[in-house]
C-alpha cells in the first residue's frame, strides 16, 4: 500500500460551532486524515477558510465518492438519517454527541454498521481533556482507596435565553441533551455501567423553554456518581470530585482546549492542551493536601484513534457499545426526571455482556 492510499478522505457535515471549532481543526491536525468535503450552506465562509475543500449540501456527503469517513456535526435530529445513509453507502462514520435522539435510533445505527461492516463511533473528545486524564490517573494510583463517590460538573453562566434550536423545545434540545452525553460518557469510561438512574431537571431561567439545570445520579453497587449541569453557575465549585476510603481528590478549572480552539490556536501548537490548574489530593489520615500537576489534554487523540482503527491498527476509540449505553442512560434519565423515580438502565443481556 502506498502512502497516498493510506490517506483517509474525510467529509464533514455541518459547520456550526462543533464543526468549525472542534472537528475541522482536529481533523486537519492528524496526519493521514484529509478534509476533502464539507457539507454546509456557508459556502462563502468556507471558500475563504478552506479554499481547497469541496463544499456541497449536507445530503451529498454521505454518498460522495471522494469521502471515506463521514463526520456528522449537524443538528441532533439529523444524526440518525445522515449516519444511516453514510453507513449504507460503505462509509465509516463519526457522529457528534448526542449520538442520536433516541435509544431505538442508536440501536438501529449499531445494527446497520454491523451489517455493512463499517466503523461507527460517537465523538467524545472530552475523554482526552486534562480533567478526565487526571481523574483516570489518580484512580490508577489507588491512593484514594475504594471509591464511594464521583461527582462531575459542567456548569456555565448564561442567564439570558437565546433564540437557537438548542433552547427551543424539540427532539434533542435542552441542556442535558447538550452536556449530558459528555458527563454520562465520563462515568461509563471511568466506572462502567450503572444499575439505575435517578434524575431531576429544571427550567430556572426566566423565559426558558427547555431544561437549563440537570442533576443526575447513577447508582452502582457500592458507589454513587453525581452528574450536574447548570446555565446559572458562575463558579466556586470543583469540576470533578472523588471520595474514597483513604482520601478525597478535587479538580478545579475547566480543560483549556475548547477555549484555545475558539481563540484560533491550532492543535499542533506546543501550548495546546496545557492545563495550569493542578488537582488536589486530600489525605484522610494525615489531613495533608497535595497538589498534583494536570496532564496535558490532547483531543487529537480521538481522531488519531479513528485513523488507526480504520487502518486496522487498534480498536475504535469510542466504540458503538459505548454510544448505545450512553443513549440508554440519557433516555432513562429524562424518564426518571419526569416520573420522579429511580429507574433501571434498559439494556439487553447481549448489550450488557459487551461490558463484562
DSSP string, 204-222: -STT--S--EEEEEEE-SS
Q: How confident is the model at residue 4 (pLDDT cuts 50, 70, 90)?
A: very low
pTM: 0.93
Q: How confident is the model at residue 5 (pLDDT cuts 50, 70, 90)?
A: low
Of 166, 134, 328, the C-alpha closest to 231 is 166
Average the pLDDT over 250-275 and give the result.
Answer: 96
Q: Are 79 and 101 in contact (CB under 8 A)?
A: yes
Cell 449516519 locates to 83
| DSSP structure string for 167-200 | GSSSTT-SHHHHHHHHHHHHHHHHH---SEEEEE
Q: Which domains does the chain have, with CATH numbers?
A: 3-123 (3.40.50.720), 130-298+330-344 (3.30.360.10)
Question: In the predicted model, what is the mean pLDDT of the chain?
Answer: 95
| DSSP structure string for 238-260 | -SEEEEESSEEEEE-S--SHHHH
Cell 465509516 locates to 92
Digit-coded pLDDT (tens) for 195-245: 999 999 999 999 999 999 999 999 999 999 999 999 999 988 999 999 999
Average the pLDDT over 269-296 and give the result.
Answer: 95
- Residue 285 backbone zone (phi > 0: left; psi -120 to 50: alpha; other: beta): alpha
Q: Are 333 and 96 in contact (CB under 8 A)?
A: no
Digit-coded pLDDT (tens) for 143-201: 999 999 999 999 999 999 887 767 888 888 899 999 999 999 999 999 999 999 999 99
Digit-coded pLDDT (tens) for 29-56: 999 999 999 999 999 999 999 999 999 9
Amino acid at each position: 500500500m502506498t502512502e497516498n492510499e493510506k490517506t483517509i478522505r474525510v467529509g464533514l457535515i455541518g459547520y456550526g460551532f462543533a464543526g468549525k471549532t472542534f472537528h475541522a481543526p482536529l481533523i486537519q491536525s492528524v496526519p493521514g486524515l484529509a478534509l476533502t468535503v464539507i457539507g454546509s450552506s456557508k459556502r462563502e465562509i468556507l471558500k475563504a477558510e478552506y479554499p481547497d475543500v469541496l463544499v456541497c449540501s449536507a445530503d451529498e456527503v454521505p454518498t460522495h465518492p471522494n469521502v471515506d469517513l463521514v463526520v456528522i456535526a449537524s443538528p441532533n435530529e439529523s444524526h440518525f438519517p445522515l449516519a444511516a445513509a453514510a453507513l449504507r453507502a460503505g462509509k465509516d462514520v463519526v457522529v457528534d454527541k448526542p449520538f442520536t435522539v433516541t435509544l431505538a435510533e442508536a440501536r438501529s445505527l449499531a445494527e446497520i454498521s454491523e451489517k455493512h461492516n463499517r466503523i461507527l463511533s460517537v465523538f467524545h473528545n472530552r475523554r482526552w481533556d486534562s480533567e478526565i486524564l487526571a481523574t483516570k490517573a489518580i484512580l490508577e494510583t489507588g491512593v484514594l482507596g475504594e471509591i464511594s463517590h464521583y461527582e462531575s460538573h459542567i456548569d456555565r453562566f448564561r442567564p439570558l435565553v437565546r433564540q437557537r434550536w438548542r433552547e427551543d423545545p424539540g427532539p434533542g434540545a435542552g441542556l442535558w441533551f447538550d452536556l449530558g452525553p459528555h458527563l454520562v460518557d465520563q462515568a461509563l469510561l471511568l466506572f462502567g455501567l450503572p444499575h439505575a438512574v435517578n434524575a431531576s431537571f429544571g427550567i430556572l431561567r426566566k423565559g426558558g423553554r427547555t431544561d437549563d439545570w440537570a442533576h443526575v445520579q447513577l447508582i452502582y453497587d457500592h458507589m454513587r456518581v453525581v452528574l450536574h449541569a447548570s446555565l446559572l453557575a458562575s463558579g466556586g465549585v470543583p469540576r470533578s470530585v472523588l471520595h474514597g476510603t483513604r482520601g478525597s481528590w478535587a479538580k478545579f478549572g475547566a480543560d483549556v482546549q475548547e477555549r484555545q480552539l475558539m481563540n484560533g490556536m491550532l492543535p499542533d501548537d506546543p501550548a495546546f492542551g496545557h492545563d495550569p490548574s493542578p488537582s488536589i489530593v486530600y489525605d484522610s489520615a494525615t489531613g495533608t493536601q497535595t497538589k498534583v500537576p494536570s496532564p496535558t489534554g490532547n483531543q487529537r487523540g480521538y481522531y488519531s484513534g479513528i485513523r488507526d482503527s480504520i487502518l486496522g491498527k487498534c480498536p475504535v476509540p469510542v466504540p458503538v457499545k459505548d454510544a448505545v449505553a450512553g443513549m440508554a442512560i440519557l433516555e432513562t434519565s429524562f424518564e426518571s426526571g419526569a416520573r420522579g423515580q429511580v429507574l433501571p438502565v434498559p439494556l439487553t443481556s447481549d448489550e450488557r455482556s459487551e461490558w463484562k
